[in-house]
Structure 1
Amino acid sequence: MADLPPIRVNRAPVLTLWAAVVAERLGHPPDTALSLASAVAATAARAKARRLGIAEEGDRAKDSAPAKPQDTTRLLGKDVRLTHDADGVVLADAGEGKPAPAAPVAAYIARAFGSRLPEVREAMEALAARYDPDELNRIGFRLYAGFRPDIPEGVSGWGAKGELRLDRIKAAGVE
């Protein structure tokens, strides 16, 4: 069976889905994983915006606000502050102790990938399963860099869609 055509998608939902898959591989429940993934993608987007000169340096405070060590987790090289929702579910801290809910993240990913979401998730889960969880978390961002969509350099690439190819996900990390 021939590979299906690539998926035209922005990098942000690709990173968000990948981070959620990695978080689940680390043992986080799905809602927590989605919330953490959103925080990782937002941190990466703010850092890129600063590099491109399209964000204020004041935005850095969102990435470096102090947190107690027991109130954070590390995902794909990013420290994510934690809090709980009203039901006690551990979620990323969206700021000032406010939980970042999972439902909008799930909807965002579903919109971005459409009917192709199951096959993309399956490819990412297969990649994640090839690694010990701690090793996956350590090298996961590098793996993502190997399969993320190619976009134009600089400001012209901000928000641009590129082609996500399932074969690149399946081949990621293979030397």
Structure 2
Amino acid sequence: MTTKTEIQALLRFLSQDARIPLPMAMSKIKELQSAKLTSSDSLAKSPITAIQAIFTDEKLAKQVLSAAKRVTKKRGREPGKASSESPAKRKKTMSTEDPATPAAIEESLTLPRSDADEEELAKTILHTNRAPLVLAFATKLLEFTMPSQPLSSRLSLAQAVVSVNARTKAISLGIEKGTSAEDDGWGQGQPKVRVMGRDIRVMKRWGYGWKEEKSEQGTHYLKAEDSDALDSQKTLKQEDETDNEPALWGLDLEALRSSNGPLVSGAQGAKGSGLPVYTAQSARAYLLKSFASMPSPMDDASLPKKKSAAMLKAEKEQNLGLILQALDLVFRSWVGVLSREELDKRVWAWYVAVRPEVENGVAGWGGKGEVRLSQMLNLRRKG
């Protein structure tokens, strides 16, 4: 019997690696289960005829098989060849490997991508609250304003923006009282960068050698899509001093104040200094779970069967890919027209223009509403 975790992994493989539209992927789950093709490994070992019997279209079947072999090869396992190692030995081998290499860290943080065209994006309506939308805006913005920073740093800095904004809003609504940790001086001595109009205190990640990694796409560790993005960003009107910065962490000053410090200026890294930072992993997890689809209005007789937790999770991940794709189109339309500083100044207003409508005051805190990607696309430069 296929577990929920296996279904979730299968849906993720089909929608992200094999590029099968999520609705189609969902509709094929039962057939794949019946054929005992419930993982990329089993698909990689399967003859093309078995896959084509399920997907019917030969091109799609080849697409699925190629993706399965690619994913299996990437994990270092040969299709059709069972591992001769015992589970205990495999576990021991994995535990002795260093999971914290820059390459492994950046690879683990990869965000969903979408190849959806403008027409599909314009039809998309998502259901979410405001905080993850700020996080999505900031994460994508940083690809353009700080293109030399790794994804782990961009996620950390973006989460810092969300937290600082939430703190400011909470104080204005009377939910929290007092001054911020920044106003109390807890960030003194640490450098800062500007993201979406807010100053974020940062810590330099000395020794994080991600730029020194070699790959076919460039001279430092970046996924292919990030390398493409960097090439396009070179047309921005001005260079930024952050291009020469080491990788950064966004400092969590509120956590620092709660623990009563101390703040050590010029700290070498989060592990060595004990300074609290916004982790890329938590920011990524928040993004992955936050963008649901708007339910379609229909009468009770035509209501579809309730989606499983695995299906809902896969759907949210695909939705994240859609919203990041829409934001990418918006930001790219301004490349070569706005400087990085000018782009940063505009983005908060763009976010306000498309954010979900919620009740005013405390009643709307954390409230959810719809986000229309058609409105987001309207933020692109005209002409």
Same fold, TM-score > 0.5, yes or no? yes
For 1:140-171, what per-residue CA distance to the aligned partner results, in whole angstroms no more than 9, with x for missing partners?
Answer: 11111111111111111100001011011111
Cα 1:173–1:64, aligned 2, differ >3 Å: closer, same or farther?
Answer: farther
- 1:121 aligns with 324
Aligned-pair CA distance for 1:67: 2.9
CA distance in 2, matches of 1:64, 1:130: 40
Is residue 42 of structure 1 aligned with residue 249 of structure 2?
no
The change in CA–CA distance for 1:12 and 1:92 in structure 2 (over 3 A counts) is same
Runs (4+) of structure 1 exceeding 6 A deviation are none
**Would the alpha carbon gap of residues 56 and 167 (structure 1) be closer, same or farther in structure 2, given more than 3 Å must change?**
same
**Alignment-derived partner of residue 24 in structure 1:** 143
* CA distance 1:174–1:150, change in 2 (3 Å): farther
State how far apart, in whole Å, the 2-side matches of 1:38 and 1:169 are. Answer: 21
Cα shift at 1:29: 2.3
Change (3 A) 1:123 1:169: same
Q: CA deviation at 1:129?
A: 1.6
Query: 2:343 matched to 1:155?
Result: no
Alignment of 1:110 onto 2:288: yes
1:94 aligned onto 2:258: no
Check the 8 A contact 1:83/1:90 in 2, yes or no. Answer: yes
Give RMSD over aligned pairs.
2.1
- Matched residue type, 2:370: E
Rounded Cα–Cα distance in structure 1 between residues aligned with 2:285 and 2:251: 19
Instruction: Confirm or deny that 1:75 pairs with 2:215.
Output: no
Structure 2: 5+ residue stretches without partners: 1-118, 209-246, 257-274, 292-315
SS at match of 2:181: helix
Residues 123, 374 of structure 2: 8 Å contact kept? no
Asked if 1:145 corresponds to 2:265, the answer is no
- Count residues in correspondence: 173
Contact map agreement 1:83 1:98 (CA 8 A) in 2:
no
**CA 1:31–1:51 in 2, change beyond 3 Å: closer, same or farther?**
same
Report the alpha carbon displacement of residue 5 of structure 1 after superposing the two structures with TM. 4.4
Identity %: 28
* Secondary structure in structure 2 of the residue aligned to 1:167: helix
Q: Per the alignment, in what secondary structure is the counterpart of residue 120 of structure 1?
A: helix
Q: Comparing both chains, which one has the higher relative contact order based on Cα–Cα distances under 8 Å and sequence gaps of 6 or more?
A: 1
Structure (1/2) with the larger strand percentage: 1
- Counterpart of 1:80 in 2: which secondary structure? strand
